[in-house]
Amino acid sequence: MRDTAAVEAAVADTHRRDWARVLTATVRVARDLDLAEECVQEAYVSALGSWVDAGIPANPAAWLTATAKRRAVDAIRRQASARSRLPLLVMTAAAAGDAAGDDPPEPDESGAAIPDERLRLIFTCCHPALSQEAQIALTLRLVCGLPVPDIARAFLVSDATMAARLTRAKKKIATARIPYRVPGPADLPERVRGVLAVIYLLFTTGHTASSGAALVRGELVDRAMHLARMLRELMADDTEVAGLYALLLVTDARRATRTGPDGGLTRLADQDRSRWDRDALAEAHDVIVGCLRAGAPGRYALQAAIASLYAEAPSYDQTDWRQIIALYDRLLEVWPSPVVALNRAVPLAMVRGPAAALAEVEELQRAGRLAGYHYLPAIKADLLNRIGRAEDAAAAYRQAFDLAANEAERAFLAEQIAEHP
C-alpha cells in the first residue's frame, strides 16, 4: 500500500501535465464535451483510491486515459441516446476502433499542422461560432482544467455567473451541432485571436495567482510559455503571435525577483534587476523590434514594448516614462480597455504628478467597469498617499485588501495598511 500523500501528489502532478491529453483522448470516444469531462474527472477521483492499493502506475497518464475512455464507452452503451449527441470531433474509422478498446486514435491529417495536443484542443475550443469570451472560458476549463472559481476571478465575475456561461457555451455547441475539428493551416488565422487570448489569460492567471498562498503558479506560466513558443513556431509570420510570445518572455524574465525569501511580494521598484533573465529579455527585444518594424503593431506587441521599456531601464526611477505613456496611448487606440487606462496612470503619475493620475483613476472608478478589480483601489491608495491624503489612502488600501484573494498580495496590502493607519 502506498502513502496517501504520495498518491495525491502524483494525481496532482498528472493533472497539471496531462489533463488536456487525457481529455482529448476521451473526447474522441465520448463525442460529447460534458460526458468526456465527467469521465476524466471520475478517472482522477478513481486514481486516488486505486493507486493507494495497487501502486502508482509507471505511466499515470495512460492509466487515466484508459480509465476515462472505458467509462465513456460504458456510458454510451448504457445510454443509446448518447449516440445522437454532438459529434465533437468527426468519428473516423480509427476513432471508432478506439471506442472498442484502449488504443489511441491515429491523428487526422489536419492535426499534423499542430504538434501538441493541448494546442490542438485550444484551437478546437476556439471555434468562431462561439463568442471570444466563451472560447476563452471553455478552453481554460477543458484544456487547462482550471477550476471555475479561478476562471471567474480572471473574468472579474462571480463563480455562479461563470458556471452559467460555461453551461451556455456547451449548450450552444450541442444545439447548433457545431462540428469541432482540428483546423488545417488554411483555417488557423480564423482561430488565432481566441487562441492568443486564451494563452495570455492562462499566463496572467499563473503570473499572479487569483487565490492561494503563492503569488505565482509556475506550472500555468510554464504551460502558457510552452504554448506561445509552439504557436510562434507554427505561425512565424504573424506579428501578434510574435508579440504575445515577446510579452510573455519579458514579463516572465522577472519571475525570480517578484517575491522575497519569505514569499512576500516585491514591488517592481525594489526588485534586483541583476537577477532578471537577460537572455529572455534580449530575445524578447529582438522579437519586439521586428514587430514594430513590420508596422501597425497590435495589442500584444505594444504591451510587450511597454514591458520591455520597464525592463531595459537601469533603475525604476530612470524608466523612460514619456515613451511608455506614448505606447499606452497607442495601445488604447487598438485595445480601449479600462485596465489599460488604469495601468497608464502609473507612468502618468511619474510625468504629470500623482494628482493628475488620481483624477483619471477616479474617473475610471466612477465609470464602474472595474468594480471588484483590486488593483484600482491599490493604485488609488498609492496616489492618495503621495499627495498627502493619508486617511483616504488607508481606506483605499483596506478596500483593495478586501477585494484581493491572493495571500501574497493581501500580505503586502496589510503592510501598507499598517504603515498608513
**Length of the chain in residues, anyone?**
421
Distance, in Å, from the CA atom of 159 to the CA atom of 290, rounded to the nearest integer, reads 41
Provide the pLDDT for residue 107: 36
What is the pTM assigned to this prediction?
0.73
Domains and their CATH numbers in the chain: 1-106 (1.10.1740)
| pLDDT score, position 115 | 54
pLDDT at 180: 55
Closest CA to 345 of 301, 310, 307, 382: 382
Return the pLDDT at 201. Answer: 87
H-state helical runs in 31-92: 33-54, 60-78
For residue 302, give the C-alpha cell.
Answer: 505594444
| Alpha carbon of residue 351 to chain centroid | 32
Q: Cell digits for 107?
A: 491523428
Q: Indicate left, alpha or beta for 156 from its phi (over 0: left) and psi (-120 to 50: alpha).
A: left
| Predicted pLDDT of residue 171 | 83
| Under 8 Å between Cβ of 250 and 311 | yes
Predicted local confidence at residue 361, as pLDDT: 98
pLDDT, mean of each 10-residue run, the chain (421 residues): 81 84 84 86 92 90 93 83 47 38 38 56 78 83 82 83 90 73 69 86 87 84 88 86 97 95 92 96 96 92 97 95 97 96 97 97 95 95 96 96 93 90 66
Count of beta carbons in the 10 Å neighbourhood of residue 39: 25
pLDDT of res. 72: 92
CB 57 within 8 A of CB 63: yes
Quickly list DSSP for 247-296. Answer: HHHHHHTTGGGSB-TTS-B--GGGS-GGGS-HHHHHHHHHHHHHHHHHSS
Dist. CA 118–CA 213, nearest whole Å: 27
> What is the rounded CA–CA span in Å between residue 378 and residue 209?
17
